[in-house]
Amino acid sequence: MEIDAVTLAILKGRFEQIADEMDATLFRAAFNPIIAEAHDASHGLYDAETGMTLVQGKSGLPIFVGAMAFAVKSVIDKAGPDGHAPGDLWIFNDPYDGGTHLSDFRLVKPLFHDGRLFCFLASVGHWHDVGGNVPGNYNPAATEVFQEGMLIPPVKLYDKGELRQDIIDILSANSRLPLSLYGDLNGQINALDLGERRMTALLEEYGEATAGACLRQLKERAATMMRAQIAALPDGTVSAEDWLDNDGIVDEPLKIALDLTVEKDRMVMDFSRSSPACQGPVNISRATAVAACYTALKHIFGEVPANAGVLEPVEFRIAEDSLLSVKAPKPVGGYTETILRMIDVVFQAVAQLAPEKTVACAYGTINALSMAGHRANGARWVMFSFFGGGHGGHHQDDGLNHGNAPISTATIPPLEILEAAYPVRFTQWALRPDSGGPGRHRGGLGAVYEIELLEESADAFLFGERGKFPPQGIAGGAPAAANRFTYQQADGAHEPPMVSKMVGIHIARGQRVRLETPGGGGYGDPQSRDPQIVARDVARGFVSPEAARRDYGVSLDPAGAVDQAATARLRHPKDEKEPA
């Protein structure tokens, strides 16, 4: 069935609006600031037979949308061909079966129309606490998934419209914050209920045949556009490597390696040279690895519609039981750090073929920080948050200062919300000077966050990266500053023994923890940056006078103006005549 261009455009907008409304419904209803404020959630429409992505919400996390196709397929496989009924709703967080890590709970709802299964609606959201050894669930010392939280395989939360209260009881009993869990769960249920009503109205108006044909054409167009984008790249094989600091257990670096081949209109992404599975929680499942590549490709080829057609011309080679393809019970709680490094190597590889298509590496870690304790009245509190850094420079301009990770469209929770919800005070929240990678286009700046405890005592936990291997530049750009974390105790300031990871550090009232996050890598030769722009960066406090001289070859006079003669000598020392 052929759909005319006007109808296709109208229905495309309607489908996307439905997904966006589901996002908005959850963001407004969630109890947990990580969903309500940071938007760590996603919704979409998925194919009835394969589970492949049909439509995603624009406000949700792209990494979730990529992984959710595998999650929906796991529900299809478990239920069998006749296992779905109107009123069913599945719930699970299994990271090896279409999941990411245990904090991300998935709800999958079959959508029926006139007694026939048309598609699936799905919701995923990051719950505040799901048990495990560490409040907030980012446990950098985990050696198996059972130390990271409760693991729920795909089970029915609603069976033909009947709520299974026993499932809710099990979930609530395994959380330090059952009220938050209950609120987030109901927010996701309501979002899917809204999506069902909106889709039913659309199908009543246009019919299943028209709606189905439109979804198929959107997928075909995405695949066609993706092939054209790949064909525009030069043929050949390029390689890129980057490193994780450690796995939290053994203080040795872990390699993420990509050999990327372009041949006509197809692409092969070969990660076979990456490190084997490790003891600690930076492993990921194959589904998560593929989803990370989907996210990277969507950054590079932004005009291609966001659905399963993006991956049709792409072949993945990921070794079994490698760091990027583990099985249970290997821990996976820090998946965010590994997928960020995967995105980095995709950017670095494509930059060798077409640097104008990509950007230098972003700051490369979410710096998942948990603080937990008890209030004076005995009530339990758990603060979990992630933090921002600089984005990479690109061929048109400098990188973004203090942005969020490129795995998502999530936002950094506002300090006012964190201070209102938890007994902490931010004594500093500022840009970090000299943290952006030098380049013709400078990398964006990282940030400085300093947090003071207001209660009697608490335990702090950090799961970060980029403490040893800073974000890289491209096209001749230089690396950014590395990550740095310190914490106060009675005997002074300390740094984690694993550089970017720590477990259960006890702090007392008035003591502080401090994050200095990386910037983004630079783009192009720093010596080709306009000296007047370097002077402007110094005036704004982005770059110190010392760094201007060292990294950019720009000397400033006492008034902050460019010293043209000194700058010329710094940038072109060979032009000076040797004395007689």
Specify the pLDDT at position 64: 80
β-partners of residue 441 are 523
pLDDT at 577: 53
pTM of the model: 0.94
User: What is the per-residue pLDDT for 405?
Assistant: 87
Given CA atoms 521, 527, 533, 538 in this order, what sign does their dihedral have?
positive
At residue 409, the pLDDT reads 63
Q: Tell me the CA distances in angstroms from 393 to 396, 397, 405, 439, 521, one per residue in order.
A: 8, 6, 15, 8, 6
| Span 143-180, pLDDT tens digits | 999 999 999 999 999 999 999 999 999 999 999 999 99
Please give the pLDDT value at position 580. Answer: 44
Q: How many CB atoms lie within 10 A of CB 411?
A: 13
Confidence at residue 273, expressed as pLDDT on a 0 to 100 scale: 98
Residues composing the chain: 580
Q: Do residues 437 and 475 make contact, with C-beta atoms less than 8 angstroms apart?
A: no
- Cα dihedral angle (330, 367, 273, 66), rounded to 10 degrees? 80
Residue ranges of domains in the chain: 5-222, 360-524, 531-575
Q: Are 471 and 437 in contact (CB under 8 A)?
A: yes
For residue 67, the model assigns a pLDDT of 85
Residue among 280, 291, 284 at smallest CA distance from 325: 284
| H helix or E strand, kind and range, residue 365 | none
Encode burial over 230-242: b for 16+ CB neighbours within 10 A, e otherwise.
beebeeeebebbb
Q: Would you state the structure tokens that stand for residue 61, as one six-digit string?
A: 């996390």
Tell me, what's the pLDDT at 504?
Answer: 87
Q: How far is the C-alpha of 282 from the C-alpha of 280, rounded, in Å?
A: 6
How many Å apart are CA 181 and CA 172, to the nearest integer? Answer: 7
Neighbours of 221 (CB within 10 A): 16
Q: Is residue 329 reached through a cis peptide bond, with omega within 30 degrees of 0 on the bond before it?
A: yes
Pairing state between β 266-270 and 314-317: parallel
Supply the pLDDT for residue 306.
84
* Coil/strand/helix, residue 10: helix
pLDDT < 70 stretches in the chain: 65, 408-410, 575-580
